[in-house]
C-alpha cells in the first residue's frame, strides 16, 4: 500500500506487463506516443465493464489524436483474455498480478466500498505525454462518465 501520488510533470514509472494475449508491453517502448493509462479494480465487474466499454466506444477519437489507451488491473492474463473477448475490447489490458505497478502509481490502497474501508485498486487514470511525463493524474474516479471527462479534458471530438 502506498500514499505516494504522482503529479503532472513527474516521470511516469516504467513497467513491463503482459497483455491479454500474454505479450509483454513496456511503457518505455511507447515513448513518442501519448498514453491514457487507466487502472481499474477487477475485470468483468459492472463498473469496470462500463468504463472499459466506454473506452472501447471512444477509441477512435483517442486514436485520431495519436493517443494509445491501456488498462491495468490485478487480474491474470486468462481473465483479461475472457474480458476482452466478451466485451470486444479493442485496446490492451495488462495484468499487474503482483501489484507492483499499481503501487508505483499510488493506486493500491485504502478506499471506501459500500460504506466500508477496504484495501484494493483505486480507479485512476493517467495521461502520459510522449516524453514519458505525467500530463494528468486523476485518482479515485467514478466509472460512469469518466471517459467522457477524459475526452473533454484532452479536447477530443465526440466519437
Q: Please identify every residue annotated as catalytic.
A: 48
Q: In which element (H, E) is residue 73 found? A: strand 67-73
HSE (side-chain half, CA atoms, 13 Å) at 39: 25
| Residue listed under C-alpha cell 493509462 | 37
Q: Which of 6, 18, 1, 2 is nearest to 128 (CA)?
A: 6
Rounded Cα distance between 11 and 67, Å, is: 18
Amino acid at each position: 500500500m502506498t500514499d505516494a501520488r504522482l503529479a503532472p510533470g513527474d516521470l511516469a514509472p516504467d513497467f513491463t506487463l503482459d497483455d491479454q494475449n500474454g505479450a509483454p508491453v513496456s511503457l518505455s517502448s511507447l515513448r513518442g506516443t501519448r498514453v491514457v493509462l487507466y487502472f481499474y479494480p477487477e475485470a468483468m465487474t459492472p463498473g469496470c465493464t462500463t468504463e472499459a466499454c466506454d473506452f472501447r466506444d471512444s477509441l477512435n477519437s483517442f486514436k485520431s489524436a495519436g493517443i494509445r489507451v491501456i488498462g491495468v488491473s490485478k487480474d491474470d492474463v486468462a481473465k483479461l483474455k475472457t474480458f476482452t473477448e466478451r466485451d470486444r475490447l479493442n485496446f490492451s489490458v495488462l495484468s499487474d498480478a503482483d501489484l507492483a505497478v499499481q503501487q508505483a502509481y499510488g493506486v493500491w490502497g485504502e478506499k471506501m466500498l459500500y460504506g466500508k474501508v477496504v484495501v484494493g485498486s483505486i480507479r485512476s487514470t493517467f495521461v502520459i505525454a510522449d516524453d514519458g511525463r505525467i500530463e494528468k493524474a486523476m485518482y479515485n474516479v467514478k466509472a460512469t462518465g469518466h471517459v467522457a471527462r477524459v475526452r473533454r479534458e484532452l479536447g477530443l471530438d465526440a466519437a
